[in-house]
Amino acid sequence: MKAPMRVAVTGAAGQIAYSLLFRVASGDMLGKDQPVILQLLEITPALDALKGVVMELDDCAFPLVAGITMSDKPEEAFKDVDVALLVGARPRGPGMERKDLLEANAAIFSVQGKALNDVASRDVKVLVVGNPANTNALIAQRNAPDLNPANFTAMTRLDHNRALAQLAAKTDAHTTDVKQMIIWGNHSATQYPDISQATVKGQAASGLVARDWYETDFIPTVQQRGAAIIKARGASSAASAGSSAVDHVRDWVLGTPAGDWVSMAIPSDGSYGIEKGLIYSFPVTCKNGRYEIVQGLDIDDFSRERMSVTEQELREERDGVAHLLP
């Protein structure tokens, strides 16, 4: 039996966590042979609700759960954690953009970055889900100077999966037939879902769909999918967000399949001319618990323009929270 891994989940009484926790506990994220200790963080008024969630986790009798803790103090919840899923934050409602949440949510991530810096495992892998995810990840990372910046990531895997689903439906294929999708940039309406490298059953996707569909239907549909869910459901995506968080961490820890890649928002190292340090979504492959940006892709003028627009938005978000960036 492997030693348990410690997984912190913030916002553990919220909507996303209500689906995410059960997937983590059942072994979908770290493997069916990997015991987990769940370290759950909530704000004080939500601790009663959290107790109910823990009662349900207990009632599932998951073989891989080696312990569960609850706390309203980040320094307790993050103690020695190997993986930190930073979900807890206010979600947007109808008519809002994700960056409208910056004011409400940014402070959470400076406090949590500091706590991770002080008490988490030195190799902790951090995934920020709470919006605006990229800039919140930047805040957490900059407040954790003793940890490797590369260990702070934000979630664009939901956008990646949405793009797979849209392209698969259009080409009458299954999502597993689609390879080499890319989401560039911010988890926002400026993100650039790029099919220029994608294949469907081994054929170039760009040759299978009309350019007009790609530009006027596919791109805006993926960019606006979060808003469409809010309109339809009256609440922001929860189960699909939880599922994508599982995918993100699983692939980071256990590796990406040969011949394909995934999208992760990570600190830019300057690849593709993107400003160093911004938390920007790139195509990456993962192996041995590390990710690497896919290099050498051709970037045409259409792509370059869109990659720059979303980069510029990330610069503006960063400048808007300068007071939280040590």
Ligand X SMILES: O=C([O-])CC(=O)C(=O)O
Ligand Y SMILES: NC(=O)C1=CN([C@@H]2O[C@H](COP(=O)(O)OP(=O)(O)OC[C@H]3O[C@@H](n4cnc5c(N)ncnc54)[C@H](O)[C@@H]3O)[C@@H](O)[C@H]2O)C=CC1
Two structure tokens written together for 75: 């320094």
User: What does 15 bind: ligand X, ligand Y, none (CB cut-off 5 to 8 Å by kind)?
Assistant: ligand Y
Helices 15-25 + 47-60 axis angle, to 10? 30
The answer to whether 13 contacts ligand Y (rule: CB under 6 A) is yes
Footprint of ligand X on 88-107 (CB under 6 A): 91-92, 98
Footprint of ligand Y on 194-253 (CB under 6 A): 236-238, 241
Footprint of ligand Y on 162-201 (CB under 6 A): 187
Give the shortest CB-322-to-ligand Y separation in angstroms.
Answer: 21
Two structure tokens written together for 323: 């007071």
Footprint of ligand Y on 45-74 (CB under 6 A): 46
Pick between residue 209 and residue 324 the one whose CB is nearest to ligand Y. 324
Using the rule CB under 6 A, which residue among 86, 89, 158, 324 binds ligand X? Answer: 158
Compute the distance between CA of residue 304 and CA of residue 102 in angstroms, rounded to an integer.
27
Q: Is 160 a catalytic residue?
A: no
Using the rule CB under 6 A, which residue among 37, 42, 121, 142 binds ligand Y? Answer: 42
The answer to whether 189 contacts ligand X (rule: CB under 6 A) is no
Site track 102-141 with ligand Y (rule: CB under 6 A), x = hit? ------x--------------------xxx-x--------
> Is 98 annotated as belonging to a binding site?
yes
DSSP letter (8 states) at residue 217: I
Q: Specify burial of residue 32 (Cβ count, 10 A radius: 0-12, 13-18, 19+).
A: exposed
The answer to whether 34 contacts ligand X (rule: CB under 6 A) is no
Among the residue ranges 29-37, 145-153, 235-243, 279-287, the one whose residues contact ligand X (CB under 6 A) = 235-243
Q: Which residue has the tokens 């994700």?
A: 98
Short-list 91, 75, 94, CA closest to 133 = 91
DSSP string, 103-155: HHHHHHHHHHHHHHHHHS-TT-EEEE-SSSHHHHHHHHHHT-TTS-GGGEEE-
Pick between residue 6 and residue 225 the one whose CB is nearest to ligand X. 225
Pick between residue 34 and residue 251 the one whose CB is nearest to ligand Y. 251
Q: Specify burial of residue 19 (Cβ count, 10 A radius: 0-12, 13-18, 19+).
A: middle
Compute the distance between CA of residue 305 and CA of residue 236 in angstroms, rounded to an integer.
29
Q: Which of the following is catalytic: 174, 187, 248, 323?
A: 187
Compute the distance between CA of residue 42 and CA of residue 71 in angstroms, rounded to an integer.
6
Short-list 34, 32, 54, CA closest to 42 = 54
| Chain residues in the site for ligand X (CB under 6 A) | 91-92, 98, 131, 158, 226-227, 229-230, 236-237, 241
| Chain residues in the site for ligand Y (CB under 6 A) | 10-11, 13-16, 41-43, 46, 87-92, 108, 129-131, 133, 155, 158, 187, 236-238, 241
